[in-house]
């Protein structure tokens, strides 16, 4: 599937050259480095105006990055119009998985019901290792409410089908072993991550909940980082929207709550040296991530801390940050 180019000229659609480049001219070295300092409502208008039915798989992944970073809940209705169950190959199905992930993450109950149905349909069509692994990230995007049972059942059925020919056909055996090694383990990790998410959002004490979410984001505790770290980053961000999880439905941020989050980052800064099993380089990396988080939520840093940030200016990409690798 060819990559789409951005040719929208409507006056109602804002021109955002940074997104033109990031989404429609995807550079693998900038993966995840969503352009910062944009206005979420303008980003939403841009996505609605520029994401077309012929969008390519790689660009769809970038749309997912941008929509989740800016929490553009306005885009779900439009993205639903692009999903018509007409995928002709694995790349088309993977492209649809990226769009379903956005709807599952940002949508209201009706959107999420649509996403669940499409998720079930994509499970029934999946064939390749890459598709099944991508489906674990669809499950991830539903958050703690996502049910991995159907995916696990489909994975087991696919493994059984491959195993049937693995004893007599060498090539089939290689495919079977690859599937067993990569997919089954990944589905298990995704399901276990779901359980950890459920525990975290059930913490009623807001300060304690933020502290635990930060530990998952900072990778100082908890496992399953491919799922938990980005999810925890978005959870920490949503802590600036409301005091309880049920209030954290839509942006915008509230300044006092932003300051609470910045203060929680500041409090955890003093704990880094006491985290066991961290090498010194890893400790510095976590410290930088915390300092960037403080600034991201409007907190202040001193001259010594700014010097450390200066040293790391072109290193590591952090989700809750406006500086770092590819973000200058």
Task: Quote the DSSP letter at residue 4.
Answer: P
Q: What is the pLDDT of residues 49-75, one digit of tens each?
A: 999 999 999 999 999 999 999 999 999
193 near 148, Cβ under 8 Å? no
What does R_g of the chain's alpha carbons equal in angstroms? Answer: 21
65-83 in b/e form (b: 16+ CB < 10 A) is: bbbbbbbbbbbbeebbeeb
Predicted confidence at residue 173, as pLDDT, reads 87
Averages of pLDDT over runs of 10 residues in the chain (328 residues) are 52 93 92 96 98 96 98 98 96 98 97 98 95 98 93 92 81 87 93 96 97 96 95 98 94 95 96 89 95 98 97 95 90
243 near 257, Cβ under 8 Å? yes
Overall size of the chain counted in residues: 328
Closest CA to 34 of 3, 61, 13: 61
Please tell me the distance from the alpha carbon of residue 202 to that of residue 316, in angstroms, as a whole number. Answer: 31
Closest CA to 239 of 272, 216, 219: 216
HSE-up (13 A, CA, CB side) for residue 171: 0
Predicted confidence at residue 328, as pLDDT, reads 67
Predicted confidence at residue 7, as pLDDT, reads 52
Task: Quote the DSSP letter at residue 181.
Answer: I
Q: What is the pLDDT of residues 225-251, one digit of tens each?
A: 999 999 999 999 999 999 999 999 989
Closest CA to 294 of 238, 252, 236, 209: 236
240 near 261, Cβ under 8 Å? yes
CB proximity list for 67: less than 8 A, separation 6 or greater: 43, 47, 75, 102, 105, 106
Cβ atoms < 10 Å from Cβ of 301: 16
Task: Quote the DSSP letter at residue 79.
Answer: H
Closest CA to 269 of 282, 253, 247, 288: 288
269 near 290, Cβ under 8 Å? yes
Predicted confidence at residue 322, as pLDDT, reads 96
Predicted confidence at residue 139, as pLDDT, reads 97
Please tell me the distance from the alpha carbon of residue 141 to that of residue 144, in angstroms, as a whole number. Answer: 9
Please tell me the distance from the alpha carbon of residue 326 to that of residue 328, in angstroms, as a whole number. Answer: 6
Predicted confidence at residue 10, as pLDDT, reads 64
Q: At what angle do helices 206-218 and 225-238 cross, to 10 degrees?
A: 140
Helices (H), 181-279: 185-201, 206-218, 225-238, 255-269
Predicted confidence at residue 2, as pLDDT, reads 44
Task: Count H helices and E strands in the chain, helices first.
Answer: 15, 0
CB proximity list for 224: less than 8 A, separation 6 or greater: 189, 190, 192, 193, 196
């Amino acid at each position: 599937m060819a990559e789409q180019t951005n040719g929208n000229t409507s006056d109602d659609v804002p021109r955002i050259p940074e997104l033109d480049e990031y989404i429609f001219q995807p550079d693998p070295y900038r993966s995840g480095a969503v352009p910062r300092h944009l206005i979420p409502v303008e980003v939403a208008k841009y996505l609605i105006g520029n994401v077309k039915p012929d969008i390519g798989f790689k660009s769809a992944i970038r749309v997912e990055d941008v929509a989740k970073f800016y929490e553009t809940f306005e885009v779900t209705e439009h993205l639903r119009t692009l999903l018509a169950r007409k995928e002709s190959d694995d790349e088309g199905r993977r492209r649809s998985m990226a769009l379903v992930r956005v709807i599952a993450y940002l949508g209201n109950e009706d959107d999420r019901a649509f996403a669940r149905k499409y998720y079930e349909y994509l499970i029934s069509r999946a064939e390749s290792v890459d598709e099944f692994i991508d489906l674990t990230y669809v499950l991830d995007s539903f958050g703690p409410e996502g049910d991995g049972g159907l995916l696990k059942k489909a994975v087991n059925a696919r493994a059984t089908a491959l195993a049937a020919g693995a004893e007599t056909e060498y090539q089939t055996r290689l495919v079977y072993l690859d599937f067993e090694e990569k997919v089954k383990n990944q589905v298990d990790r995704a399901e276990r991550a779901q359980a950890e998410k459920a525990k975290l959002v059930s913490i009623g004490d807001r300060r304690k909940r933020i502290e635990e979410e930060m530990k998952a984001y900072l990778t100082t505790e908890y496992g399953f980082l491919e799922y938990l770290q980005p999810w925890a980053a978005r959870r920490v961000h949503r802590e600036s929207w409301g005091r309880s999880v049920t209030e954290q439905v839509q942006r915008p941020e509230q300044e006092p709550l932003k300051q609470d989050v910045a203060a929680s980052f500041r409090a955890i800064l003093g704990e880094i040296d006491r985290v066991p099993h961290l090498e010194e380089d890893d400790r510095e990396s976590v410290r930088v991530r915390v300092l960037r988080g403080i600034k991201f939520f409007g907190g202040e840093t001193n001259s010594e801390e700014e010097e450390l940030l200066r040293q790391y200016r072109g290193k590591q990409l952090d989700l809750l940050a406006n500086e770092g690798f590819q973000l200058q």
